[in-house]
Amino acid sequence: MLKIKDITTWKYSGAASAFAAAAAAGFLLTGTRVAGVVSFADISISGAVGLPYSAAVFAGSMVRSIIGGDIGHNIVKLSSLALIMIIKMFLEPRNDPKLCGINTAVSVFVSGAAVSAVIGELMYKLLFYGFYGALAGFTAYSAAGLILGIKRQRMINITGISGFSCAVVYIMLIASLSALKLPVLNAGIIAASFVTLMGAYFYMQNGGVFCGALSVCGAFLSSASVGLNIVLLPAAGLLTGYLYKQKSHIAAAGFVGINFIMTVLTGMSVRGVENMMDIICGAALFIPFSAVFTDKWICTGSECVSAFPDMIGTRLGFLSDTVRELRSESERISHILAERSDISREIEENSEQVCSLCYRRPFCWKSDRTNTYRGFSKLAEMTEFASESFPAELADCLRRNELTDAFLRSARERASAKLMEMRFSESREMLHEQLRITEELLRAAGERFDVRYSENVSRTIKHKLEKFGIVPEKVIAGYNSRNRLIAEIYFDHGAAPENSTRVCDLIADELRLSLESTEPVSSGKEIRIRIFEKPKYKMEVYAVSAGADNSRYNGDTHTVFFDGGEAGYAVLSDGMGTGREASAESRMVVGLFRRLVTGGVDFISAVKLVNSVMVAKSWEESFATLDAVRIDLDECGLTVIKSGAAATLIRHRGSVLKVTSPTFPVGIYETSDVFVKKCEFEEGDIVIMFSDGIFENAYPFIKELLLGGDDLKHIVEEISGKAQVFTPSIHADDVTVIGVRVTG
């Protein structure tokens, strides 16, 4: 027995549904009239969609014409549909909107002209079919643009030119539905009432007036009587917009009540009663649909809304430039001060101290000044003082011992000053690096993110959590470039839930979506939880780790986490040496990197901050490598991030790529050095990461494993198990191997 689940999971179910819908549209719209003439809605649909669906529209129209015996009456329409298909076969690439419009207009005009020429009415009908074809072509152009926008952006954009296309298509839809001959009810008025009520409830007064006005336009195109029946629909939408905070059934009842009052005030008639039945049906459809409605598929952005992120980005960019200028000026001053020479001052002070009471001073510093100054300069440059190395220029000096002692003290002070200068120089380098990191963080925060904010979903999430006793401080929800929902929920530190699972389950139940969550991230005052719709791809990770000589302390640390937006990370750190201290260092590196990235810091700045912390944490030498891969789970993109780590091997399209980095581990120098490389990656490709316990002579063996099979667990265990075989040193090292594969 065929199951519904099998049908919905069939990979061609979407195409089959679209084909059936196109055939139904051709069947239902054939024979309808708009503005007193035969409707061109089915022709425009055929011109806007692809070739298979255009054929479905033609088939539906042909079946309707045969059943109704109207083939002769619909000959222009049928020939237009046939000509559209023929042109699509040869000339129209990828359903370009302009070509769709031109194809439709030309097909209608040529078909109409040909039929008119046969019946002898060419000159009489030529102007009409030119105008008729232009309208059909423009409608096809608008519909094709709307379809293309949905395919590319995965949403309906009702702003700008795209919004104009949506309005044209909606008006023609209402006009065509209003022209359908149904017993008692009017499909156009039902659809108009439903859309107007949806607009008023979810987009308040503006949405109600906008949808109502477009609905009236479509109804008038169908016939004047239908348009007059709902001419007050924009006013009803305006008033219903004030009920957006109420429950859906209350808003529906209010909408029906407002329309009833207006119908009574304008004079109740039989037609008015039928009109109220249509409005009631539209409101009845609204109640179940409002529970599942999401603005995920609709973009209503405005220039004012888009200008605010631009303003914030501009201000943060200016602040970043200010920090950069401050850093540059500080570096310049430090460089000048470090290069300033104090030899002249040292000679002057020692001369004043030793020579001031000597009776030969006038002769030495006036008559023989050049020779004396040269001798003093040599003393100032000496690091060791002995009688045989005393400058010949001062051979006649009467106070040789006092002069030697004075310059010896100066040399000691100079050495101490240089030591302090080195320490201050390290501090200055660290300060400059931290200023550079601050500059990058500000600039990254100012970049405009491709996320579309949803006030409706944010409000829904907050109300749902409050209903179950979970009170968030703020909720920010929106859709990323792939139209996936991403929500950030902020709690006061003392009111945050213990884990994010409960929060995620409540939101998933309310929005009827499959959601995942990140671990709570603390800023000190607030705790943030990210809830996100599952991305297209998943990470499959398998890791094996073993300490040197079976030690219980492993100097390697690894982790896998998601940033809650679009990427997953696999991170490996190898601490200096082996044992407890190496383990503590690698855990610190991995923990800091994970916390910074999940907190919203970009990965390059996160590495630099980790390096700064490792350098400043103590005067003892301590460092660790950082090896990470970042996988974009929407686009399947791979980014390799390294600081002093071992090579990474990537299997892609039947070949193995080795990625190495000429960088140092974090914690060695004040200035961090990060290697970043973006690599081609596809579903099914494999990444192998390992610590320094795997030597280069094992790479051919690993390459053979990668090209020989897809069992990730087997590959990782084989690499780890054979590590000692390829070790040229007698001293064992910690071994960690991580395998990552992307699956759909």
Q: Looking at mean pLDDT, say which of 19-28, 541-550, 722-731 comes out highest.
A: 19-28
pLDDT of residue 441: 66
Residue type, 438: T
d(CA 164, CA 170): 10
Alpha helices in 627-685 (DSSP H): none
Give domain status of residue 421, yes or no.
yes
The tally of domains found in the chain comes to 5
Look at the block and give the residue holding tokens 């099914």. 684
- Supply the pLDDT for residue 307: 44
- pLDDT tens digits, 500-530: 888 999 999 988 888 888 888 887 778 888 8
Side chain identity at residue 540, one-letter code: E
CB distance 193 to 233 below 8 Å: yes
Q: Is residue 305 part of a domain?
A: no
Dihedral sign of CA atoms 547, 552, 556, 559 in order: positive
Q: Is the predicted pLDDT of residue 600 greater than 60, yes or no?
A: yes
* Cα separation, 439 vs 330, whole angstroms: 14
At 428 the pLDDT is: 61
- pLDDT for 521 equals 83
Based on the fold, state whether residues 37 and 59 are members of the same structural domain.
yes
User: pLDDT tens digit string along 396-413?
Assistant: 787 878 888 888 888 777
378 lies in the same domain as 465: no
pLDDT at 4: 46
In a domain, residue 681? The reply is yes
50 vs 296 pLDDT, higher one:
50
| Residue 251 falls inside a structural domain | yes
Shared-domain flag, residues 616 and 703: yes
Same domain, residue pair 293 and 362:
no
Residues 231 and 119 in one domain: no
Tell me, yes or no, whether 469 and 408 share the same domain: no
Last-in-domain residue among 533, 564, 597: 533
Q: Does 319 share its domain with 427?
A: yes
Instruction: Say what the pTM is.
Output: 0.64
Query: Same domain for 340 and 191?
Result: no
**Contact between 380 and 347 (Cβ < 8 Å):** yes
The residue-averaged pLDDT of 225-249 equals: 87
3-state secondary structure of 531: strand
Return d(Cα 508, Cα 305) in angstroms, integer. Answer: 28
Has residue 174 got a pLDDT over 50? yes
CB-based contacts of 261: which residues, under 8 Å, 6+ apart? none
- The CATH number linked to 616 is 3.60.40.10
For residue 207, pLDDT beyond 60: yes
Do 329 and 361 belong together in one domain? yes
Q: Which two tokens stand for residue 144?
A: 């094709």
Is residue 671 included in any domain, yes or no?
yes
Q: Which two tokens stand for residue 624?
A: 């660790």
Instruction: Give the model's confidence band at 560: pLDDT under 50 very low, under 70 low, under 90 confident, else very high.
Output: very high
Closest CA to 435 of 636, 198, 427, 514: 427
Q: How far is CA 68 from CA 64, 82, 435, in A?
A: 6, 19, 79
Domain span at 395: 311-445
Question: Rg of the chain's alpha carbons, rounded to an integer?
Answer: 39
The confidence score (pLDDT) of residue 304 equals 39
Helix (H) or strand (E) holding 157: strand 156-157
Angle at 514 between CA 508 and CA 520, to 5 degrees: 65
Angle at 470 between CA 467 and CA 473, to 5 degrees: 110
pLDDT classification of 738: cutoffs 50, 70, 90: very high
Find all residues with CB under 8 Å of 360, minimum gap 6, and list them: 396, 398
**CA dist., res. 139 & res. 42, Å (int):** 10
Task: Considering only residues 110 and 318, tell me which one the structure prediction assigns the higher pLDDT.
Answer: 110
Q: Which two tokens stand for residue 324?
A: 């950069």
**Whether residue 296 sits in one domain with residue 188:** yes
Q: Residue 158: which of 194, 111, 195 has the closest Cα?
A: 195
343 or 535: whose pLDDT is higher? Answer: 535
Q: Is the pLDDT of residue 353 over 90?
A: no
Confidence check: pLDDT of 665 > 60: yes
Angle of helix 75-90 relative to helix 97-119, nearest 10 degrees, comes to: 140
- 60 in Cβ contact with 27 (< 8 Å): yes
Query: Is residue 306, in this structure, part of any structural domain at all?
Result: no
How high is the pLDDT of residue 193?
Answer: 93
Asked if residue 249 belongs to a domain, the reply is yes
Name the pLDDT band for 26 (thresholds 50, 70, 90). confident
Residues 11 and 57 in one domain: yes
C-beta of residue 46 within 8 angstroms of C-beta of residue 57: yes
Question: Of 428, 445, 462, which residue sits at a domain end?
Answer: 445
Q: How confident is the model at residue 306 (pLDDT cuts 50, 70, 90)?
A: very low
In this predicted structure, what is the pLDDT of residue 630?
94
Same domain flag for 248 and 315: no
Token pair for residue 688? 């192998």
CB 259 within 8 A of CB 277: no
- Match 């008038």 to its residue by tokens: 220
Query: Which range among 96-105, 215-224, 313-322, 459-468 shows the weakest confidence by mean pLDDT?
Result: 313-322
Characterize 705-722 residue by residue with b for buried, 16 or more Cβ atoms within 10 angstroms of its Cβ, and e for exposed: bbeeeeebeebbebbbee
Mean pLDDT of the chain: 80
Q: Is residue 166 over pLDDT 90?
A: no
What per-residue confidence (pLDDT) applies to 631?
A: 93
Q: Which of 154, 183, 212 represents a domain boundary (last residue)?
A: 154
Does any domain span residue 376?
Answer: yes
- By the 8 A CB rule, do 620 and 686 touch? no
